Structure formats: C-alpha cells, structure tokens
Amino acid sequence: MIHPDQQSVLEYAYAPPADLPEGCFDAVCRLVEAGGSVGSEWIRSNLWRAFLVGYVLDQDNLIACSSLKEPRPEYTASVREQTGLDLSTYLERGYTSVKPAYRGQGIASRLLAGLTIRAGGRKIYSVIGEDNIGGQKIALNNKTRRVAVFVSQKSGKKLGVWIPEAMLED
C-alpha cells in the first residue's frame, strides 16, 4: 500500500500488445497468472490477440493490469446459448489484476475507466464470478450493470455478464 508520506506517482498506460515496452507483456501475463482467478492456458494467447492492454506502473514496477480482448467465438456462442446475449461484436474487458499491496485504492477502477474510453466506439462487457464481490464492486464503481448470469461449462461456476450502463442505452 502506498504510505501517505511516500513520494509515489502511479503511471497509467495503454497500448496494443505488440507496442508494449520490452518485458511488459511477460510481466502482465505473470501478474494475471498470479491472481489465480482465470485458467492460465489461455492467458498468453488471449492477451496477445487483445485490442488493448492497460497497465499501471509504480516507479517502473508493474502493479496492475487489465485488457480489452477479442472474445473467442466458441465462448460467445456458449454465452449466447445460455443467456440470449449476442456478444460477438463486443470486446471483453478482463484479466484485471492488482498486486495485493495496492488493492482498495481505486487503481482497478481508474484502469478500467481508461480502457472503456479507449474502446474505439466498440461496446464492451466483463464476466465476473458471482462469488467475486471485489470484482463486482469495481464494476459498480465503473457504472457497469449485471445483465445476465450463466454457468461456465469449464468450471461449473456461476458468472455474471456486466455491461457499462452507457452502452445499454444505445
């Protein structure tokens, strides 16, 4: 956690995967894997195909990340089958991870807001576990609403589909 008397300025940055600074892509993958909330077999390939990766540095140390990903067609087909939502043209906001010492400071909320405004006019959604209270709080802080719930075919867990309120009005 940043102590009040420390001189720390967080740097928020956004780039396509191919344009990330040297070593940043691997550091982002490691941070997402360390979070342990997603299966690691898809992280690298999904992030490499991402539309945009957002990351936060504290004195050149990666402390948080998230992304706007192109969802896999088989995934959006499964969600559509269970919920009726067609997310095939959306970007998925995901792989959000913040190092434990930095949690509770609004970093993830600011990072996600930055990704949202950089979506290039595309609609976005997030998938958040029904048991992930922290993720749901971040979504609510970003004026995002749960619009459906489905069961992951892989894990059997209930997951919510969250869409920014402004994108629901379109």
What's the pLDDT tens digit per position in 68-124? 998 889 889 999 999 999 999 999 998 899 999 999 899 998 999 899 899 988 999
- Report whether pLDDT(1) > 60: no
User: Residue 38: what pLDDT?
Assistant: 66
* Residues 98, 136 contacting (CB under 8 angstroms): no
pTM for this model (two decimals): 0.85
Every domain of the chain and the residues it spans: 10-168
The 10 Å CB-count burial string (b at 16+, else e) for 129-167 is beebeebbebbeebebebebebebeeeeeebbbbbbeeb
Check whether domain 10-168 has CATH 3.40.630.30, yes or no: yes
User: Residue 79: what pLDDT?
Assistant: 93
User: Residue 9: what pLDDT?
Assistant: 87
* Residues 68, 51 contacting (CB under 8 angstroms): yes
